[in-house]
């Protein structure tokens, strides 16, 4: 090898060594950079995992473990992106929620300011946190800012713990809503409502107090109660009047429903107002004629329709009622219904009928003797020769008939005086009843020679303390009936005795007798058992006069009768002391 070749080789080696050194240095630098990069990457993954876990903790779940998701998958799965998106939605949701809450707050504030009640928001110590304008108007004595003040100081002016009616204290003690009625501030009256608001731990954070001024309402209630009381009193009076009314009263509304009826009407129709059940009166009233009147469209407002109606009461006896029907109209002239008053006129109509009967009977009774008197006087005046022969007989007949007339007129005058309420002028004296009866019978015996008159006066002379002429009239009237209503040859028995310190005189005949309803009415004026029988004379006043005369003596009269068996009239008069 040449010297030049060797030198060249040595040069190459040196260059290679330098290169190796350079490469080694570069490798070490690269390795060091790689270590730095690896450390930085691990730091980045650690940071990412840390942040992911922080976020997961916020949403309330467990941390993400490396064995669950390796570093490479961590980037692909992108949990930060998922949680970040979730947070974005959560924030958006909360933003909307806040907006709604703001609206709700504004609404509540508007209500708070405009509500008619005084509102106070208190903290648990009773300090005022908020209040509305009404609180100033209703509760505060002066224009002051009460925020932070204790309500007992600014509202009550006293320590609420001493006040058993303090609503705030009740709310704090009960932890429930409380209502207090009739809470007074000065002369004003309030209804107070206290309501607690609770925090997350269940503690009371606020108490909302509402004070409603009910002063005007209270006054109105008091006035209303007074009006109600007056109305009830008036109602009671009206019901009292209706209850005591002798007539039946029925009020129907515009739909013909019964809205009012008194007890008399209930008795008459056999049902009460509650039983009518709001049905039309025309469906439940038993009288077609009454229904027709209730539906009569022709009654004007100022007219009272008056009609007589036959109605059956519960005992099924027909009675006559006078119906007076008036239309009820409101202020607007609208038809509101009818008021119907039913007055029992059975008795009046019967009296009318009896009066009518009496007129015809009296005319008959007066005409018969008058005809006789006129006939004989005419005979005496025109047939002198014939009359002369029978003068005494004719004059007796005329006198007899004139006495008949005098008797009828006397009866009429007696009943007229009794009707007028004039006291009978009685002259009391000892009256021997047997003698008086004998005297009367002697007069009757002449005209009724076939009748048998039997006397049973077993206790000896019976002296009544009575007016002699009245007793004679009583016996005459009783005997007159006994003779008239018994057959020729009939037996009339006089029985007299003392009984319980009184004189008891019975006059018994075996004549026609009477039916029970005739017995019931025998003492009524103008009543005659059979008014159509003109063959039997009479005015229907005899027994009426007997009853009045006997009762004027403090006595009594009784009548027993059986059809076809006869009649017994018993008279009780006081005995002479």
Q: Copy the structure tokens of residue 361.
A: 């009977």
Q: Of the candidates 15, 41, 90, 536, which one interacts with other proteins according to CB under 8 A?
A: 90
Both structure tokens of 556: 């009594």
Taking CB under 8 A as the criterion, the residue among 97, 363, 406, 413 binding other proteins is: 97
Rg of the chain taking only CA atoms, in angstroms: 61
The answer to whether 83 contacts other proteins (rule: CB under 8 A) is: yes
459: number of Cβ within 10 Å: 13
Binding mask 60-79 for other proteins (x = CB under 8 A): xxxxx---xx-------x-x
Structure tokens at 127: 């300090």
- Tokens 């009622």, residue located: 321
CB-wise, 80 or 519, nearer to other proteins? 80
**Hey, which bits of 186-233 come out as E strands?**
188-198, 204-213
> What is the closest distance, in whole angstroms, from the C-beta atom of residue 43 to other proteins in the complex?
23
The CB-of-91 to other proteins minimum distance in angstroms stands at: 9
The verdict on 309 binding other proteins (CB under 8 A) reads no
Residue 61 Cβ vs other proteins, minimum distance, rounded to whole Å: 4
CB of 52 to other proteins, least distance (A): 9
Contact (CB, 8 A) for 386 and 512: no
For 383-438, the DSSP string reads -HHHHHHTHHHHHHHHHHHHHHHHHHHHHHHHHHHHHTTPPP---EEEEEHHHHHH
CB of 92 to other proteins, least distance (A): 7
Quick one: which of 21, 94, 243, 295 contacts other proteins (CB under 8 A)?
94
C-alpha distances (whole Å) from 230 to each of 238, 242, 243 are: 12, 18, 19
CA–CA distances in Å: residue 506 to residues 475, 493, 560: 10, 8, 10
Q: Does residue 558 belong to the site contacting other proteins (CB under 8 A)?
A: no
Distance CA 19, CA 30 (A): 16
Q: CB under 8 A: which stretch of 83-91, 101-109, 170-178, 447-455 binds other proteins? A: 83-91
Q: Which residue has the tokens 């059975």?
A: 346
Min. distance of Cβ 207 from other proteins in angstroms? 30
CA–CA separation, 141 and 41 (whole Å): 75
Site mask for other proteins (CB under 8 A), range 193-232, x = bound: ----------------------------------------
Closest CB 72 distance from other proteins, rounded Å: 16
In this structure, what token pair is assigned to residue 275? 């039983």
Q: 99 or 227: whose CB is closer to other proteins?
A: 99
Site string for other proteins, 490-519 (x = CB under 8 A): ------------------------------
Question: Residue 58 or residue 224: which is nearer to other proteins going by CB?
Answer: 58
Provide the minimum distance between the beta carbon of 60 and other proteins in the complex, in angstroms, as a whole number: 5
With CB under 8 A as the contact rule, which of the stretches 90-98, 295-303, 320-328, 518-526 interacts with other proteins?
Answer: 90-98
Q: Rule CB under 8 A: is residue 86 a binding residue for other proteins?
A: yes
Residues 571 and 493: their CA atoms lie apart, in Å, by 14
Q: Of the two residues 84 and 223, which places its CB atom closer to other proteins in the complex?
A: 84
Q: Does 93 bind other proteins (CB under 8 A)?
A: yes
12 binds other proteins (CB under 8 A): no
Give yes or no for residue 85 binding other proteins (CB under 8 A). Answer: yes
CB of residue 83 to other proteins, shortest distance in Å: 7
From CA 264, how far away is CA 261, in angstroms rounded?
Answer: 8
- The residues, any chain, with a CB within 8 Å of residue 473's CB and separated by 6 or more, are 545, 549
Pick the closer one to other proteins by CB: 98 or 303.
98
Residue 287 has a CB neighbour count (10 Å cut-off) of 18
- Binding span for other proteins by CB under 8 A among 84-92, 346-354, 424-432, 552-560: 84-92
Which residue, among 79, 72, 67, 1, has the nearest Cα to 41 in the 3D structure? 72
Give the residue, chosen from 54, 92, 113, 283, that forms a contact with other proteins under the rule CB under 8 A: 92
Q: What single DSSP character describes residue 51?
A: H
Expressed in angstroms, the distance from the first to the final Cα of the chain is 210
Least distance (Å) between residue 63 CB and other proteins: 7
Distance CA 211, CA 193 (A): 7
d(CA 537, CA 411): 14
Per CB under 8 A, does 337 bind other proteins? Answer: no
Which residue among 21, 31, 38, 96 contacts other proteins (CB under 8 A)? Answer: 96
Rounded to an integer, what distance in angstroms lies between the CA atom of residue 217 and that of residue 320?
55
Residues in contact with other proteins by CB under 8 A are 56, 59-64, 68-69, 77, 79, 82-83, 85-86, 89-90, 92-94, 96-97
């Amino acid at each position: 090898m040449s010297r030049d070749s060797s030198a060249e080789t040595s040069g190459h080696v040196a260059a290679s060594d330098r290169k190796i050194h350079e490469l080694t240095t570069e490798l070490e630098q690269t390795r060091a950079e790689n270590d730095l990069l690896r450390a930085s990457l691990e730091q980045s993954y650690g940071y990412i995992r840390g942040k992911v876990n922080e976020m997961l903790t916020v949403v309330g779940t467990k941390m993400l473990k490396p064995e669950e998701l390796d570093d490479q998958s961590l980037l692909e799965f992108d949990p930060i992106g998922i949680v970040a998106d979730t947070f974005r939605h959560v924030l958006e949701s909360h933003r909307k929620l806040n907006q709604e809450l703001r609206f709700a707050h504004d609404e509540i504030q508007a209500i708070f300011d405009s509500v008619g009640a005084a509102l106070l928001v208190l903290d648990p110590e009773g300090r005022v946190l908020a209040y509305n304008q009404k609180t100033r108007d209703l509760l505060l004595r002066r224009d002051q800012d009460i925020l932070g003040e204790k309500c007992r100081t600014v509202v009550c002016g006293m320590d609420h713990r001493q006040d058993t009616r303090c609503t705030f204290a009740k709310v704090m003690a009960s932890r429930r809503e409380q209502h207090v009625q009739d809470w007074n501030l000065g002369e004003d009256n309030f209804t107070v409502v206290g309501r607690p608001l609770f925090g997350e731990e269940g503690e009371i954070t606020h108490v909302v107090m509402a004070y409603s001024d009910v002063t005007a309402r209270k006054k109105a209630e008091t006035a209303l109660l007074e009006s109600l009381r007056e109305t009830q009193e008036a109602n009671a009076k009206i019901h009292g009047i209706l209850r005591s009314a002798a007539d039946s009263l029925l009020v129907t509304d515009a739909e013909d429903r019964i809205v009012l009826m008194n007890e008399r009407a209930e008795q008459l129709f056999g049902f009460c107002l509650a039983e009518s059940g709001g049905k039309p009166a025309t469906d439940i009233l038993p009288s077609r004629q009454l229904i027709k009147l209730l539906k009569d469209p022709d009654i004007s407002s100022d007219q009272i329709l008056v009609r007589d109606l036959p109605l059956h009461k519960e005992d099924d006896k027909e009675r006559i009622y006078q119906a007076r029907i008036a239309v009820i109209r409101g202020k607007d002239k609208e038809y509101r219904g009818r008021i119907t008053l039913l007055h029992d006129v059975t008795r009046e109509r019967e009296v009318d009928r009896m009066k009518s009967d009496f007129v015809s009977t009296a005319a008959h009774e007066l005409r018969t003797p008058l005809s006789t008197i006129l006939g004989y006087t005419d005979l005496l005046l025109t047939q002198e020769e014939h009359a002369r022969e029978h003068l005494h007989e004719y004059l007796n007949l005329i006198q007899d008939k004139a006495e008949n007339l005098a008797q009828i007129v006397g009866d009429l005058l007696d009943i007229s005086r009794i009707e007028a309420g004039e006291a009978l002028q009685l002259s009391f004296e000892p009256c021997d009843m047997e003698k008086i009866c004998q005297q009367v019978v002697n007069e009757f015996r002449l005209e009724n020679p076939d009748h048998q008159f039997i006397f049973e006066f077993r206790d000896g002379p019976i002296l009544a303390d009575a007016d002699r002429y009245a007793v004679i009239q009583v016996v005459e009237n009783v005997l007159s009936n006994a003779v008239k209503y018994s057959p020729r040859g009939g037996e009339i028995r006089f029985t007299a005795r003392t009984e319980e310190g009184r004189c008891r005189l019975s006059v018994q005949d075996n004549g026609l007798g009477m039916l029970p309803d005739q017995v019931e009415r025998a003492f009524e004026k103008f009543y005659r058992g059979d008014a159509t029988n003109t063959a039997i004379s009479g005015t229907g006043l005899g027994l009426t006069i007997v009853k009045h005369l006997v009762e004027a003596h403090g006595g009594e009269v009784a009548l027993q009768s059986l059809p076809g068996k006869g009649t017994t009239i018993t008279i009780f008069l006081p005995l002479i002391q």
